[in-house]
Amino acid sequence: MLPESILDMSLAAILRGLCYREAITQAELSRRTGIPQRHLREMENSRRPIGRQNARKLAEALNCPPAHFLSA
18-68 pLDDT, tens digit per residue, is 999 999 999 999 999 999 999 999 988 888 888 899 999 999 999 999 988
- Three-point CA angle 53, 51, 37, nearest 5°: 80
pLDDT exceeds cutoff 50 at 1 = no
This prediction has a pTM of 0.81
The per-residue pLDDT for 68 is: 86
| Largest Cα–Cα separation, the chain | 30
CA dist., res. 7 & res. 68, Å (int) = 8
pLDDT confidence tier of residue 2, bands split at 50, 70 and 90: very low
Q: In the chain, what are the domains?
A: 4-70 (1.10.260.40)
